[in-house]
Amino acid sequence: MKIFISGGSGLLGGNCHQHFTDRGAKVVASHFTFPTNNTVFYDTLHPEHPDNYDVRAFAPHVIVHCGALTHVDYCETHVEESYEKTVVSTKNLIQLANEIGAKMVYISTDYVFDGENGPYREYDAVNPLGVYALHKLDAEQLVLAQANQSLVLRVTNVYGDEIRGKNFVSRIVDQCMKGLKLTLKLPYDQYASPTNAFDIARAMYVLLQDGKEGIYHIGGTDYMNRVELALRVLAYFPEAAYDLIPISTEALQQPAKRPLLGGFIKMKFSNEYPEFLFGNIDTYMKEVMRRSLKA
């Protein structure tokens, strides 16, 4: 299997690149603003950019779109940029996938729901609350309607190994390992299914191998709020110094509305793959600590 990954230098894209390669696939991963030793340049907003990697010559069987503008508050005040980087980039990759006969894989989010009745199944009614959420829904619907072959994975609260260490869990781990004091002001009323990017990559690969299409909800075995998530990580650093301030989402006064009861029930995936085991924050942290002891 040959796979092209857009956004391959990010958290999920990087884990997909590593896992797919380990499984024997021929993989090319791209970057736009953050190059790595393992990625090539590709501008999804300008498919004819002279410096773009020649995806047509590579002729992948699958195009995985991991790139998007994910800063939800920024999107509220930069609507056009959000639309371009989430919706227009997806349109361009759909066109490319259809031209070369590739399956299109789109990474979506639980933000397509309003958070009133979560956790959610694939058939639950969508109701995005903000600009980011609306554009993610627009893009996933385009993929399902226009791509000749399509797979949509909705994911949430993704953490894991990442070159830049930008994700929530990695930032806490990094500061604790450096002996820095943390100040965390976190919402106690936002619930989701934190998921290791490596598990998403694993799940995606089995779905691709079996030719699956449509929407799948992918999530770890945890269901918790942000305070609980932080405390679960901090438990592995008993000497860590921190101030943790639980606060309501309303009191945070963030520009973008958040779905409070988000996250997923992944019954569809688990019914089809009953022997597939997802990890949780504890399995990940145990591995992090094991590696730190060996370093």
Q: Domain coordinates of the chain in residue numbers?
A: 2-159+194-217, 168-190+223-261+281-294
Tokens 């508050």 belong to 73
For residue 220, what pLDDT is reported? 94
For residue 33, what pLDDT is reported? 87
Nearest-angstrom CA–CA distance, 78 and 194: 27
For residue 165, what pLDDT is reported? 85
Per-residue pLDDT of the chain (295 residues; tens, 9 = 90+): 999 999 999 999 999 999 999 999 999 999 998 899 999 999 999 999 999 999 999 999 999 999 888 999 999 999 999 999 999 999 999 999 999 999 999 999 999 999 999 999 999 999 999 999 999 999 999 999 999 999 999 999 999 999 888 899 999 999 999 999 999 999 999 999 999 999 999 999 999 999 999 999 999 999 999 999 999 999 999 999 999 999 999 999 999 999 999 999 999 999 999 999 999 999 999 999 999 888 7
Equal CATH topology for 2-159+194-217 and 168-190+223-261+281-294: no
- Which CATH homologous superfamily contains domain 2-159+194-217? NAD(P)-binding Rossmann-like Domain (3.40.50.720)
For residue 81, what pLDDT is reported? 96
168-190+223-261+281-294 maps to which CATH number? 3.90.25.10
**Nearest to residue 292, comparing CAs of 193, 144, 177, 121?**
177
| Total Cβ atoms within 10 A of residue 163 | 14
For the stretch 174-204, what's the b/e string if a residue is b when 16 or more beta carbons lie within 10 angstroms of its beta carbon? ebbeeeeebebebbebbbbbbbbbbbbbbbb
pTM: 0.96
